[in-house]
A and B are shown apart, each in its own frame.
Chain A
Amino acid sequence: MVEQENKATLPVAGVEKSSPYEALMKDIVSIEEVLLPQLNELAEKIDSSFNDVSQSIRFCAEQLLSTNMFSEKNRTRIAIGATVTSVLVDSIGAGFSAYKHNKYLDTILVEKRKIANAKISVIEKVIPLTKKAFENASQIVLQKVDKEYSSDLLQNQDTLKLILSNAEKEMNILRTSCFYMLMVQYLHAEYNAWMSGLQVSDVDRPSLYTANTQIFLKIICADHFRGDMEIFLSNKSDSLKGREVYVLADKQLTNTYLIYMGNTRKFIDPTEDCDYFPPELPVNFENQNAALSVIENSSMISINDADTKRISDFCELGDGTTMSHIVFGLLCVGVVVLLVVLDWALWLSIILGVIAEGVLISQWVKKVEEQKNAFYRKLLNIQHDIYARLMKDAGYVKYDKSVYQKKNVFDEAVDGLFKNL
C-alpha cells in the first residue's frame, strides 16, 4: 500500500486543472458573449412574432369561412387573400430578421475597427516576444527528445516520478507558449481583417489542440513514430527516449498521439467526420523491463485498451446476420424436402419451389443488408464518440464563425415565402 502511494503515477487524460485557453478566451469573447445571444435571440423573436401574426391571419380567415355569411365566390377570395397575406407576413419577417442581423454586425464592426486601430501596433510588438518564448521552450524540449532515460533511472520510483513530472512541466510550458504565440498571430490576422472591413479573418481560431498537434509533428517528431515503430514499442533496449517520456507523461500529448495513430498516422481537419479506430499499438510486453513497465502502466495503454474493448465488445455482439443465415438455410431445406415428398406433382412443386426461393432470396438479401447497415451505423457512432472524447482531452474547442456571416435579405425573404406553403 505504502509502496503504491510512493509509486510514480502517470496522469489520467481528461482531468485538466485549469486551461489557459478557457482563461484567455473568457475575455476574448466578450463581444461574442453579448453579440451571439443577441443575434440568436433576435432571429428567434422576430421569426416567432411574424409567424404568430401569420397564424392569426389564417385563424381569422378560418373563422370567417366557418360561417355561411359569404357566397362561394367570396369564400374563395377570402381563402386566397388570407394565404397570400400570411405568406407575405412570413417573408417580411424573415427579411426583417436578416436586415437586423446585418445591422448589428455593421454596428459591431465599427467598434471592432476602433479596437483594431488601437491594438494592432501593440500586437506587432508582442508577436516577436511570444515567438521567442516559444523558441526558448522548444530548445528545452528539443534538447531532451533524443536523450535516453536508462533503466536505472526508470526502475527507481523517486527518479521516475521526477522524470515524469519534469516532462509534464516542460510540455506544459511549451504548449502554453505555443498557444499564446498562435493566439497572438490569430488576433493580428483578425485585426487586419476588421480594418479591411471584414467580420472575421480566414485564419482558424487556435485551440490547445492546435498547439499539441504542432508540437507533436514538429518537436516530438511524428516521423519517429512511423515505420516499424521500433523506437517506441518493441523496446529492445531497456531505456526510454525523451520523446517517448513526453508522450507518456503529458495527458494532452497522450491523446494527441492516440488520435494520430488511430487516424492512420495523420491529423485530419477537426471539423471533418473521422472513422477513428483505436490503434493497435505495437507494444511487445513479452520481455518485461523497466521501460515496458512504464509504458504498460501509462494512461496511453489504459485509454486505448478501454476504447478497443468497447469496439470489440460491440463487434462481438455481431450484426445479427448469422441468425438470418440459419433461418434461410432451414427454409431452403424445407423446400427441398417438399420437392421430394410431393413427387406426384414434381413439376408443379419445382415451379412453386423456384418462385418461393426467388421471393425468399430477395427478402433475405434485403433484410441482411438492413441489419448490416444498422450495425455499421451504430459502430460509426461509437467511433465518433471515442474520437470526440479524445479530441476534447487533447484540447480541442469547436468555434463557429458562421454567425459573423452577413445574411442576404432578399434570399431570406424568399425562403420565408416558401416556409409555410
Chain B
Amino acid sequence: MKRLMKGAVLVAVVVVASAQAASAQSIFSGAGLGYPVGSEDGRARALGGVGIGLMGADVSPSDPAALALLVAPTAIVTSQPSWVTFDQTETGESGSFQNTRFPMVGVAYPAWKLGMMSVTFGSVFDQRFEARRDAAADLSGGAVDATDTFVSEGGSSRLNLSVGRMVSPNVAVGLTVGRYSGRIVRRLVRELDSLAVDNSVQPFQSGGLWSYSGTSVTGGVSLQFSDIGRVAGSVTWSGDLNAEASEDTPGRDGSYAIPLHIRVGGSALLAPGLMLAAGYSSADWSGTAADVVGGVGQATNNFGVGIELTRAALLGRSTPLRLGYRSADLPFGFDGTTPTETAFTAGMGIVLNEQAGIVLASMDIGLERGERKDSTLAERFWRATLTLRVAGF
C-alpha cells in the first residue's frame, strides 16, 4: 500500500508539472474544439503514431489491453517540444513559434488479482491560440486605431483509470474509464492607440472561463501470436463533453457530442530483428459540427506505418531504431476546409537499465517532420517526442 501511495504521489507531482507547462502547437487549435492531442509515447510516434498493437507492454489509455503485458510497476512521462513555421495564403501572413507540452503522464501498478492498473492524465484537445487584428474606433477627435487581441487558453484533458488483464496466455483485455477535465479561458481585448487617446483609457475586455467535464469508456482487446506478432483494437465511447461557464462568465454553457473512436493496429516480426507496425483509427466528428460555431467537423481517418530494427545496439546497450510515416485528418478546420496532417517519423529507444531481462529504465525518442494544411493555411513542423519510462519501483 505504501508503494502504491508513492506511485500516486509521483503521478500527482507530474500531473501538476504538466498542467503548468502545457502549451499549444498549432493555429488549428482555434478551429472547432481545437487541435487533437494524441497520448502516444516516443516509440509509437517514431513508428507512425497510431499507438496500438505494438509488440511489448505499454501504458496507454487508448490501448488498455497492453497494460496486461507489464511485469513491473511503471511510471511514464512524455515530453513533446515542437517547432512550427506557417504560411497563410489568404492574408500573406507567415511566422513561427515553438513550445513544449507534456501529452501524457502516468503510472501503472499491479491491481491485486485484477491484473495491471494505471492512472494516466493527458490532453485531449488543445485550444490555446492567440489572434490579432487591426480595428478602429470612431471618437470625437476622429478615427482612432485599435488592436483587437483574442486569446484562448487551455483545452480539454482527461484523467484515465485503466485495467488490463490476460484472460488466456494469448489474449488480453483492458478497460479505461476516463473523466474529462480541463478548462478554457477565452478573452477578447481591445486596446486603443495610446498615442491618440488619453493614456488612462482602459482596454476593453470580454470573455469568460469554462470548465470541462464528461465521461469516456474505452474497451480494448489484444491477441499475442507467440513472440512474432500482436494485434489489438480498442473502442472509445464518450458521453457529451460539457463546458460549464464560471459564475461570472456571461457566455452560455456548452455541450459537444464526442463520436465513437475506433483504433486497430498490429505489429509483426518480418525477420529476426525487423518489426513492422501499422495502425488505423477513425472517428466521425461531423456529428459534433452542430455543436461548434461555424459547424465544421469531418470524419477522420488516421493511419500510420513503421518499421523497427530491434537488434540495433549502441555502446553495448539495446538501442532499437525506428522509421515510419503517418497521415491523419484533423477533425476541425476553418471555413469548411478539411485539414490534414502528414509526417515522416524516425526515432530510437535507449535502454538505460535492464535487470534479469526486465527493462527498469528506458527512453524513447521520436522525431517527426511533417505538415498540416488546409486550403489556406500550411504549417510545417519538427516535433520531438521524448518518453522516460521507469519500472520496478
The answer to whether A and B interact is no
Q: Which residues of A contact B (CB under 8 A)?
A: none
Q: Which residues of B contact A (CB under 8 A)?
A: none
